[in-house]
A and B are shown apart, each in its own frame.
Chain A
Amino acid sequence: MIRFTIILFSFALPFSSVDDAVGQSAETMQATSKAIRIAAAKIEPFLVTIESYGGVGTKQGKIGGIRKQGEGNTTGILVGAEGYVITSTFNFVSRPLIITVVTSDGVRRVARPMGRDDSRKICLLKIDDVDDLPDVGACDIAKLDKMKVGQWALSMGVGYGDKSPAVSLGIISAKNRIGGRAVQTDANISPANYGGPLIDIRGNLIGICVPLNPQSSAVGAGVEWYDSGIGFAIPMDGAEALIERLKDPEVRIAPAFLGVKPTPNTDGRGMFVESVVSGSAAASAGLTAGDIILELDGKPVDDMLTLRQILNRFESGAEAEIKFLKTASGSAEARENGESNTVTATVKFLPPPQPKDGTDLLAPPKIR
């Protein structure tokens, strides 16, 4: 029995003491910090500092009473050896005349904008003078299907003006956001790291940090959520085809624009159409004011959010099936009297109309 007790003690003591648990915990925290530094160092050779010169309302300029966004240096990521850089369109809100890129070797080169995807707010730049571009190889991409909500995520960017990027720690908050285009994180994402990478704890690239807001496709939308714990990144896993498309400077991928002003239908299901933008996708599909949209892409549309979520899965040029209720006079009375019929049509999405003076799309959201 004595032997038994001794053995029991020798097993139990080293592990059950509180001090020991604290010691182990402290070690775990230190290990996490170390992992953060190693992960950051792994992606750093791929990061570039983007500088832009000139453009609309630069430096002291103000639009709508508040200082313009994204006028400092911004971050991009080298893709391949041909000098392509992937970054966020947000960084070029001011439409700069000249863009230069500083690579990890400290050399500054001129770059020009290539294709852009306004539905994801990412774009490519191309450095032309690539003879002595540092050969960094290809960065490891984190696999989307292995990614789990709750795992560590690190956002990085050079926007604070230092050569070394700042790093913020968070977790993956959700996958498949904004019509499956983005992953969500609670790591700090702000103009200081739009265009910069979101990486996992092993230094693999998850995606490109961008401002997004599921309710709006304006270029600045999402900035109002900066550093709020609601941040988005466009995953790079499976984005090879998209990147290939963006290598064409003429490519402009636009969000899907339906062209209706809907309100929830108070006396039944669907969305009541208040007005239709002339020449829009909705108008081409035969929708008119007074109709009731029942389904889009086979899914019932009962509120604004659902409609927005379905639209977010498409880009302009894509087609979807729309089901709506057409009434002769457009009045509820007429519908009750059975003067309505269900119409199924194919809607081909168009890009959102460009505002004439450019201010609407370019206007930065108000932040405080």
Chain B
Amino acid sequence: MRNKLITLRVFFFGIFVLGGSCLAQQDGNCFAQTSVLPPLIDRCQPRMAKVIGAGVGRVDGYASGVIVSADGLILTSQGVFLDGRQVRVELSDGKSYSATILRRNRTLQLALLKIEVDRALDYFQLSGKPVGEKGDWVVALSNAFKVANESEPMSAMIGIIALRSTIEARLNDRDVAYKGPLVLIDAITSNPGAGGGAVINADGQLVGMIGKLINSSETNTRINYAVPSSTLKQFVEDQIAETASTSNDQEGAEALGKAYLGIVLFSLGSRNDPAYVDRVRRASPAAKLRLRPDDLIVALDGVQIGTVQEYQKVVDRLKPGVEVPIVFKRGSKLQRMEITPGEKK
């Protein structure tokens, strides 16, 4: 009898404990971020740096930075604030250091700084492989608007990876200084001073570094993005030459402006007119395709053509004798063909 009672009591106790543990489980599920992210953020704060340079006019004189080596290598975004007489770095303990600029890259909009430290610093490991995919949770740490001073920790924001992409060449060069792969995020990181901030995933790995503030000419909105860890690693290891793109440019320069299609576009004198064909020169590559007046060039060599100016830009970089696809609209239909540019006489 007594035995039975104990068994019964144990049974009820078991239910009680189980019930309690279910609550704990629910708690864990409902407050996922609350139990995972705070320790990660705490762990990453000592790997952050505040970079203070010179403000010029309306350009801010400050940025964020990530520590990438125990001996004081710090990555930040490239900017005129680094051009001043002195660049200073404040670490999470509030100590201030004078920094030397080791390298700057205007294509990637990155700068590598070095401070002299008498202790081993906590730092971010840079991965050579992409960290994180679309939909992954990320936390951005930055000193946007210079909210934090001295030993005050960086501001944290939550978001997800919106897209891993490259900023297309189509974007206006003036608008987008950065060229290369990027990680778009849906946290609003694109703010003054946030450049050089860290974007970490839920495992505490560095997804990338918040890039310099840019506006998209495509949408006239700011783009929230990070320069991926693998690109940072290449930059730190000095595997990317500043002039990497110029070799291609030079190669292209030989052929520049020599391609000839035999298309004369209709123009009202504005550079923004759509690329309507006005005339086709006799016996030209375009004549071979039987292009006609009033055809609208929609794409050339895989590049979307919106205006006369865009058409000219693409033609200028075509090479004589190298076949490229051309898409044009006739009536309500699109026609796709291959065109082989001739050589200008």
Indicate whether A and B interact: yes
Residues of A participating in the B interface, judged by any CB pair closer than 8 Å: 3-4, 7-8, 11-12, 14-16, 18, 20-22, 24-26, 28-30, 32-34, 36-37, 40, 51-54, 57-61, 66-73, 97-98, 100, 108-110, 112, 128-129, 159-162, 164-169, 187-188, 190-192, 226-227, 364, 367
Instruction: Flag if B170 contacts A29 (CB, 8 Å).
Output: no
List residues of B whose CB falls within 8 A of some A CB. Answer: 6, 9-10, 13-14, 17-18, 20-22, 24-25, 27-29, 31-36, 39, 133-137, 159-160, 162-163, 165-168, 170-171, 184, 186, 188, 202, 216-224, 271-275, 296, 298-299, 304-307, 309-310, 327, 329, 332-334
Q: Which of A29, A110, A167 contacts B333 (CB 8 A)?
A: A110
CB pair B29 A25 closer than 8 Å: yes
From A21, A37, A128, A164, B35 is in contact (CB under 8 Å) with: A21
Cβ contact within 8 Å between A24 and B28: yes
Q: DSSP class of A's interface residues: helix, strand, loop or mixed? A: mixed
Residues of B within 8 A of A367 (CB): 220-221
A70 near B299 with CB under 8 A, answer no
A72 to B219, Cβ gap below 8 A?
yes
Cα A190 to Cα B217 in complex, Å, equals: 13
Interchain CA distance A66-B221 in the complex, whole Å: 12
CA A5 to CA B133, docked complex, whole Å: 46
Bound-state CA distance A68–B221 (Å) is 11
Shortest distance from the beta carbon of B225 to any chain A beta carbon, whole Å: 9
A187 is contacted by which of B32, B33, B186, B298 (Cβ under 8 Å)? B186
Distance in Å from the Cβ of A227 to the closest Cβ of chain B? 6
With contact pairs A24-B29, A40-B134 given, residues A162 and B165 touching in the complex (Cβ less than 8 Å):
yes
Across the A-B interface, give the 5 residue pairs with the lowest CB-CB distance, nearest first.
A72-B218, A15-B21, A36-B135, A54-B274, A191-B219
Known A29-B33, A160-B165; contact A11-B221, beta-carbon cutoff 8 A? no
Is A33 a contact of B136 with CB atoms below 8 Å?
A: yes
Q: A3-B10, A51-B304, A166-B163 are in contact. Are A68 and B25 (CB under 8 A)?
A: no
Distance, CA A225 to CA B31, complexed state (A) = 29
CB distance from A364 to the nearest CB of B (A): 8
Write out the residue numbers on chain A whose beta carbons fall within 8 Å of the beta carbon of B28.
20-22, 24-25, 28
Q: Which residues does chain B contribute within 8 Å of A226, judged by CB atoms?
A: 221
Taking A37-B133, A59-B272, A161-B168 as contacts, is the C-beta distance between A7 and B14 under 8 angstroms?
yes
Is B333 within 8 A of A129, CB to CB? yes
Q: Which residue of A lies closest to B169 (CB)?
A: A161
Q: Chain A contacts of B218 at CB under 8 A?
A: 71-73, 159-161, 191-192
Contact of B334 among A110, A159, A187, A191 (CB under 8 A): A110
Asked if A11 contacts B17 (CB within 8 A), the reply is yes
Known: A110-B329, A129-B332, A164-B165. A72 touches B216 (CB 8 A): yes
The residue in B159, B218, B334 that gathers the most chain A C-beta atoms within 10 A of its C-beta is B218
The answer to whether A37 touches B272, judged by C-beta atoms less than 8 angstroms apart, is: no
B59: shortest Cβ distance to chain A, in Å?
16
For A128, give the chain B residue with the smallest CB separation: B332
Q: Which residues of A contact B217 (CB under 8 A)?
A: 67, 71-72
Contact B163 A162 (CB under 8 A): yes
Which residues of the other chain, A, contact B163 by a CB distance below 8 angstroms? 160, 162, 164-167
